[in-house]
Amino acid sequence: MIKLIDKHKTLIKRYQKKFKLSDYQLLWLVFFKGVLITIIIFKIF
């Protein structure tokens, strides 16, 4: 389980660096992604 968490943190840091996102920007991006996915799921079902 620890390996999975460490891998996840590494991937987040990699994409954050690749797209030059701050922690704050990343949080907003993930928030809106969740809202969008929720809207799509509610429209389907």
What pLDDT digit, counting tens, does each position of 1-45 carry?
899 999 999 999 999 999 999 999 999 999 999 999 999 999 998
Determine whether 21 is exposed, middle or buried from the number of CB atoms within 10 Å of its CB (0-12, 13-18, 19+). Answer: middle
Q: How far is 24 from 45, CA to CA, in rounded Å?
A: 32
Q: How far is 43 from 39, CA to CA, in rounded Å?
A: 6
pLDDT at 27: 96
Residue 37 Cα distances to 6, 18, 26, 28, angstroms:
26, 23, 16, 14
